Copies of this chain bind each other. A is one copy, B any other.
Amino acid sequence: MSNLDIQRTGILFVISAPSGAGKTTLISSLRQKPDFVYSVSCTTRSPRPGEVDGEDYHFLSEEDFKTHIEAGDFLEYAEVHGHHYGTLKSTVVSQLEHGIDVLLDVDTLGAASIRQCPDGFIQDALADVFIMPPGLDELSRRLRKRGTESEDQIATRLRNAASEMEKWREYRYTLISGSMEEDIEKFRAIMRAERYLSHRLHLSF
């Protein structure tokens, strides 16, 4: 007649989106009321104005990045727009083992690498979400509004976006981007529901 004892393992929330789909703003908002740990990726690209080392990214030299690759330290890594991006396995696994959820922002190549990770623990923990822009027109509008890139860079991003958008089926969830408030609410619903999946729970009574 005792009360219920509830335990669960951590969930690895992976989020991908084409540039301009609103992912960065979504993640910033989620991080303001975190019930998860945000996994800070490593990158060899230069910080943009306002970006903080260790908070937005771990900014690494090409040399340091390659050392980690050779040591097999990365859960995923990829080259995008001429720069390396990667996630250190150790950081992610130690959180999940303690029942702490991890949010990880990776591109479609990074997500594909994680899906191919042979570690069953990672596969059980994984919940991947693709943020789908409401259309290429709207995406183009959002990229121009941001105003941080040249027309050439925007054209490249739109081409990449179109091919990334084809990957939505590979993700467990596809969130059609609306207003920022809607996106946050939808993503929060996914996070909550994933926590009620029976296979993640250990109950005794």
Binding site for B on A (CB under 8 A): 1-4, 6, 129-130, 132-138, 140, 165, 168-176, 186, 188-190, 192-194, 196-199, 201, 203, 205
- Pick from B6, B168, B174, B186: contact of A176, CB below 8 A: B6
Q: In the bound complex, do residue A205 and residue B174 qualify as a contact, i.e. CB atoms below 8 Å apart?
A: no
A135-B2, A135-B4, A205-B136 known; A192 vs B186 contact (CB < 8 Å): yes
- Pick from B137, B172, B196: contact of A186, CB below 8 A: B196
Shortest A201–chain B CB gap in Å is 6
CB neighbours (8 Å) of A3 from chain B are 134-135, 137-138
The 7 closest A-B pairs by CB, nearest first: A193-B193, A189-B192, A3-B135, A189-B189, A173-B196, A190-B193, A174-B198
- Pick from B135, B172, B192: contact of A205, CB below 8 A: B135
Name the residue of chain B whose CB is nearest to the CB of A200. B174
Q: In the bound complex, do residue B4 and residue A132 qualify as a contact, i.e. CB atoms below 8 Å apart?
A: yes
Q: How far is the CA of A130 from the CA of B197 in the complex (A)?
A: 10
Q: In the bound complex, do residue B1 and residue A137 qualify as a contact, i.e. CB atoms below 8 Å apart?
A: yes
- Pick from B1, B2, B6, B168: contact of A198, CB below 8 A: B168
Q: In the bound complex, do residue B176 and residue A197 qualify as a contact, i.e. CB atoms below 8 Å apart?
A: no
Q: In the bound complex, do residue B192 and residue A196 qualify as a contact, i.e. CB atoms below 8 Å apart?
A: no
Q: How far is the CA of A129 from the CA of B201 in the complex (A)?
A: 13
